[in-house]
Every structure is written in structure tokens, then in C-alpha cells.
């Protein structure tokens, strides 16, 4: 299905990898081709999206880029951007294929569903030659540690109390097979919010474990992840308990839960916002992570634009208070995040949606031959700079191994 969809200039492949994750709905689907789209830079992007959504009355797929913050919070960005994804892009697919454990469903205008099915079944998995990619680090260990110490001073002064600081790993003049890299990443790190996303010459190869936001009817949920430990064995009860009891990791998670509660309270009925699950430890391929679930009931008349504006960017990728830490992120990070720290997902004709958090991802501009991925961690006053550096390296490990 993935190989078949990759023949289109625009496609979005979303895969749950059979995780039994709470609030799971669709196992796997491919949106291929486009019969209409909207692309925008942060200025009037959310209004453009709302207009497109209202007129489409259909399934739509696409992304919100991190720099929509400039529109939402009246901020600016001047750091380099080697990838050049638009800040917002959504499309109505020409063909939508949904896969469950028991059936395949194909949606498209007109006839020809059986032909599409046969094309998918007969699609060959074409192996691609692989060449090692030389990865450039944005910071030396000393430079990284020095920045963390400066951020801790901001916390001490009361500018903020948690900040998600990220570093970019990049490669220039590189040619890869995006689909081959994605398949290798999926094999080594299958995660419940994975995505292979292609818009022309730009690719996102995403193995995300995190949900940003999901809407079902009037019910809305967010599932921020904060708190990480290495997974060394198939069943490692010691590390699970250690992470669950770690005061610093729990504090990171609870601070973001508080921020998410505040965000949802802007658009939800009074008294409906609640924490369904706090600091639960889940197992992922390389790591254990602490996940919380916050939910609420939407007020009447809340639009899609209102919902995104109130909650984006997601608190797990910023820190708190949100606007101040985004100013600090712009100051201390040397490159734009672009689609990283943004979200990819879908909206249904019924007005529901499910959106991930773009982390654990390779981003690639084929025309510019530029490849990039970021890793980051939450910095609090109790953070050990060297331990934070090692956490970032741990998160980058699986991607580095695949890229050679």
C-alpha cells in the first residue's frame, strides 16, 4: 500500500503499527493524489485552512508547521531553514485506502475501486540502493551543556519553568530513497503515530509515539509525552518503576499537563476538562515514556481554527509559559524547526480529527538535497545538562543507525 501510494506526487500514509494505544481508531491508511489543496505561510494561514476545510466537506490530510506560532502568538523567526516546508498544507485525496485487520476500504470518485485494489496487491516492493549519510551535529557536547546552563538561569530568574530545547542533526548534498529509509525506520522503531508524508519534493518520515490532539464528536483529548528512560530488555520492570517514580521526570510531565489543561479550558465547557491518566509509563521500541491523557467537552460553536489556535504548538514541544519559551527557543536554537514539532494527521467529513506530534522524524528536501532531524528534551531547574545531552543522543540513535 505504501509503495503504491508513493507513485503519487502527494500522499500521506499513517500507520498505528498495531499498538493497543488508548483512543485508537484507524489502524492504517493511505491518502494518495490531490483533488484540491491549501498551502500557506504563517500570516493568515489558519483562516485559509478554515475556509478550505469548510468548503471541502471531505477527508483532508496534511500538516501544521511549528512556525504557525508566529501567527498565533505574534512572534517571528529568522533562523535558517534548509527544508522549506510551508507552515501549513492540507489536501483532499484523490484516493483514500483504509486498512484494518479484516478488510481494506477504498474511497474515490467514480468507478475503478477493484482496479485500485489489484494495483495495490500487485505492487512490488522495489529495493533501493543505500548509501551512508554523513550527519553533522549542530552543537558539540560543550556547546550544548553551556546552552542548558543558560536556560537554567532563565528558569532561576523566573522567565519560565520548563523549556523544550532541541538540536538539529543535518546532512547536505545527500540523495536518499525516502521510502527505503522510512521502511527501515519502521522496522527498527515502529510507533503508533507513524507517517510517510510526501508533498512534491519534500518528505516527512515520521515514527512518532505521541498524539497532539484528537476529536470525536464534542469530546477532545490530548496525550502529552514527557519523561524518558532507556529500554534495555523486553520486560524491564526496574526501569519502568524507576521512570514512574522519578520526581524530576514526573515534574516535567505534570507541568505540561497543567499547560494542556489550560489550553483546553479555552475551548471546552466549564468544568469538563479533566486528567484521565497521569504519568502512565508506556513501552516503545527503544525507550519507556511517560504519557498523560487530558480531555474535555468542546463548547458549542468552536471552529477548527479556534481549536488549533488555542492548543498549538503542543506544550510538550515548547514548555511553559508557552509564548516566553518560544521566544527563548528562537534565541538559543540555531535553525528553524519547520515541520518538526508540528503535526501531521487527518480530518474526517464528520468533523472529527486525529493529529500526531512530529518527533522521531527524518525530514528531506530532495531538490535541495538537504536532510534533517531533531531531538530534544525538557529542561527544568533540576536538569543535569550532561544527562539531557545523553537523552538527545538516545533519541537520535535509531535514526543514525538507519542512515548509517
pLDDT for residue 235:
64
Note down the domain range covering 123.
2-403
pLDDT for residue 180:
93
Q: Where are the beta strands (DSSP E) in 10-87?
A: 10-15, 28-40, 60-64
pLDDT for residue 233:
63
> How open is the CA angle 219-224-39, to the nearest 5 degrees?
75
pLDDT for residue 312:
98
Number of folded domains in the chain?
1
CA–CA dist 343, 370 (Å, integer): 21
Could you tell me which residues come within 8 angstroms of residue 228 by beta carbon, excluding any fewer than 6 positions away? Answer: 243, 249, 287, 288, 289, 290, 377, 391, 394, 395
- pLDDT tens, the chain, 404 aa long: 999 999 999 999 999 998 877 788 889 999 999 999 999 999 999 999 999 999 999 999 999 999 999 999 999 999 999 999 999 999 999 999 999 888 999 999 889 999 999 999 999 877 777 788 999 999 999 999 999 999 999 999 999 999 999 999 999 999 999 999 999 999 988 999 999 999 999 999 999 999 999 999 999 999 999 988 888 765 678 888 889 998 988 998 999 999 999 999 999 999 999 999 999 999 888 788 999 999 999 999 999 999 999 999 999 999 999 999 999 999 999 999 999 999 999 999 999 999 999 999 999 999 999 999 999 999 999 999 999 999 898 888 879 889 98
pLDDT for residue 124:
84
Largest CA distance in the chain: 64
Residue 256: give its domain's CATH number.
Answer: 3.60.120.10
Q: Is 122 left (phi over 0), alpha (psi -120 to 50) or beta?
A: alpha
Q: Are 272 and 296 in contact (CB under 8 A)?
A: yes
pLDDT for residue 176:
94
Q: Is 195 left (phi over 0), alpha (psi -120 to 50) or beta?
A: beta
Nearest CA-CA partner of 227 in 208, 245, 211, 243: 243
Helix (H, G, I), strand (E, B) or coil at 331: helix
pTM of the predicted protein model: 0.95
Instruction: Determine if the peptide bond prior to 313 is cis (ω within 30°).
Output: yes
Amino acid at each position: 500500500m505504501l509503495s503504491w501510494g508513493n507513485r503519487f506526487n502527494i500522499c500521506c500514509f499513517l500507520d498505528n503499527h498495531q499498538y493497543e494505544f488508548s483512543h485508537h481508531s484507524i489502524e492504517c491508511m493511505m491518502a494518495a493524489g490531490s483533488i484540491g489543496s491549501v498551502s500557506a505561510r504563517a500570516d493568515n494561514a489558519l483562516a485559509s485552512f478554515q475556509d478550505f476545510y469548510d468548503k471541502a466537506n471531505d477527508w483532508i490530510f496534511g500538516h501544521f508547521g511549528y512556525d504557525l506560532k508566529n501567527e498565533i502568538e505574534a512572534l517571528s523567526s529568522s533562523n535558517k531553514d534548509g527544508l522549506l516546508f510551508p507552515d501549513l498544507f492540507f489536501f483532499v485525496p484523490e484516493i483514500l485506502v483504509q486498512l484494518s485487520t479484516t478488510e481494506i476500504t477504498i474511497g474515490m470518485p467514480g468507478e475503478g475501486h477493484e482496479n485500485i485494489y489489484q494495483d495495490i496487491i500487485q505492487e512490488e516492493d522495489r529495493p533501493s540502493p543505500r548509501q551512508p549519510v554523513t550527519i553533522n551535529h549542530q552543537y558539540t557536547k560543550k556547546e550544548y551543556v553551556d546552552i542548558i546552563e543558560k536556560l537554567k538561569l532563565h528558569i532561576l530568574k523566573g522567565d519560565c519553568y520548563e523549556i523544550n530545547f532541541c538540536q538539529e542533526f543535518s546532512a547536505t548534498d545527500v540523495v536518499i530513497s525516502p521510502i527505503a529509509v522510512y521502511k527501515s525506520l519502521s522496522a527498527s522503531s515502529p510507533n503508533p503515530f507513524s507517517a510517510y508524508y510526501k508533498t512534491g519534493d519534500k518528505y516527512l518520515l515520521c515514527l512518532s509515539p505521541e498524539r497532539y490532539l484528537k476529536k470525536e464528536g464534542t469530546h477532545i483529548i490530548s496525550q502529552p509525552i514527557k519523561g524518558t528512560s532507556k529500554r534495555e530488555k523486553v520486560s524491564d520492570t526496574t526501569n519502568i518503576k524507576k521512570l514512574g517514580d522519578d520526581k524530576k521526570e514526573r515534574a516535567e510531565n505534570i507541568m505540561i499537563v497543567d499547560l494542556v489543561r489550560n489550553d483546553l479550558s479555552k475551548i471546552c465547557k466549564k468544568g469538563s476538562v479533566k486528567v484521565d491518566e497521569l504519568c502512565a509509563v508506556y513501552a516503545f521500541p527503544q525507550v519507556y515514556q511517560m504519557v498523560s491523557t487530558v480531555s474535555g467537552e468542546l463548547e458549542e460553536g468552536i471552529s477548527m481554527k479556534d481549536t488549533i489556535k488555542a492548543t498549538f504548538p503542543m506544550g510538550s514541544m515548547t514548555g511553559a509559559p508557552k509564548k516566553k519559551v518560544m521566544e527563548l527557543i528562537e534565541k538559543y536554537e540555531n535553525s528553524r524547526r519547520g515541520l518538526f514539532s508540528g503535526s501531521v494527521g487527518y480530518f474526517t467529513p464528520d468533523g472529527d480529527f486525529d493529529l500526531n506530534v512530529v518527533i522521531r522524524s527524518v525530514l528531506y528536501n530532495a531538490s535541495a538535497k538537504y536532510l534533517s532531524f531533531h531531538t530534544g528534551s525538557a529542561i527544568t531547574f533540576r536538569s543535569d545538562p550532561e544527562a539531557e545531552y545523553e537523552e538527545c543522543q538516545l533519541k537520535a540513535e535509531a535514526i543514525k543507525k538507519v542512515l548509517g
